Amino acid sequence: MPPLVGVAPAGALPTGASSGGSVPSHVAIIMDGNGRWAASRGLPRAAGHKAGAEAVTRCLRAARANGVDYLTLYAFSSENWRREPSEVADLTGLLKFYLRHKVAELHREQVKIRFVGEVGRFGPELCSEMTRAEELTAGNTGLTLLLALSYGGRSDIVQAARALARAAKCGALDPAAIDEDMVSGYLLTAGVPDPDVIVRTSGEHRLSNFLLWQSAYAELVFLDTLWPDFDEACFTRVLNIYGRRERRFGARPA
């Protein structure tokens, strides 16, 4: 699969992009295949989500071991609210369990946790747990784990546009001064470099409304592996694929 490239001045990098190398600074993953994993084993979908949560632990361990700085996981999309209420309840229950029982361990490992998305839709109890996790780990200096919850790339861009419009309306911002850097600063991922590589598991070949602005120059890697089967070997495979890519950001090859 060829790298995704765009147009940029020769020698320049887009906002937040790294210059390349065998280890990406920021890996983002669309975790897909929990349901199919469970169905293939005659298990309820809840079992697939539980196995998927265990895969998150393996992925996080591999990211830390390989020196990745940022790991973003698409844990719950804005479209996932359309699923059966019982499945949404299973997913939110699993999230609640991990927030209550795993955050302390991540804190000891110096992982910084950040949530991006319309997290208010999960209700005050879960929002309080998320705030507690972010505050507890805010000073950590290890890997930054971003969990995209009730997240949609289009809505992210829309909320940034609204914020910019409000600032311009009240005179705090000159519309003529709006550029790509400024837009990036109003996104939910503000302050985080754009992903170097976006991975999707389960054999699907689409972004599904994930980090649409931020993915402009990301390398795309699609794996047939179902997410609950994702392990350290899969992560190494992603790094090997990424290491063979030539990232030109739209510039001519040397």
Rounded distance, CA 201 to CA 199, Å? 7
Structure tokens at 241: 């694929």
Task: Find the catalytic residue in 32, 69, 156, 196.
Answer: 32
Annotated binding-site positions for substrate? 33-37, 45, 49, 77-79, 81, 83, 200, 206-208
Rounded to the nearest integer, the mean pLDDT of the chain is 90
Which residues belong to the annotated binding site for Mg(2+)?
32, 219
Confidence of residue 253 (pLDDT cuts 50, 70, 90): low
Q: What is the pLDDT of residue 250?
A: 66
How confident is the model over 160-177, as a mean pLDDT?
Answer: 97
Is 69 among the residues known to form the active site? no
SS3 for 33? coil
Which pLDDT tens digit goes with each residue over 176-190?
999 999 999 999 999
Alpha-carbon distance of 5 to 109, in angstroms, equals: 35
pLDDT band at 2 (very low <50, low <70, confident <90, very high): very low
- Residue 107's alpha-carbon distances to 87, 137, 145, 197, 209, in angstroms, are 29, 6, 11, 25, 30
**What are 115-144's pLDDT values in tens digits?**
999 999 999 999 999 999 999 999 999 999
Q: Which of 12, 10, 7, 22 is nearest to 246 (CA)?
A: 22
Q: How far apart are CA 244 and CA 230, in angstroms?
A: 21
* Separation of alpha carbons 173 and 158, rounded Å: 17
pLDDT band at 246 (very low <50, low <70, confident <90, very high): confident
- What are the pLDDT digits (tens) for 23-79? 999 999 999 999 999 999 999 999 999 999 999 999 999 999 999 999 999 999 998
End-to-end CA distance of the chain: 21
State yes or no: pLDDT of 200 exceeds 90.
Answer: yes
Domains of the chain: 26-244 (3.40.1180.10)
How far is it, in rounded angstroms, from Cα 99 to Cα 132? 9
Does residue 240 have an active-site annotation?
Answer: no
8 Å CB contact between 26 and 70: yes
What pLDDT, on the 0 to 100 scale, is given for residue 4?
27
What is the H or E stretch that residue 101 is in?
helix 85-101
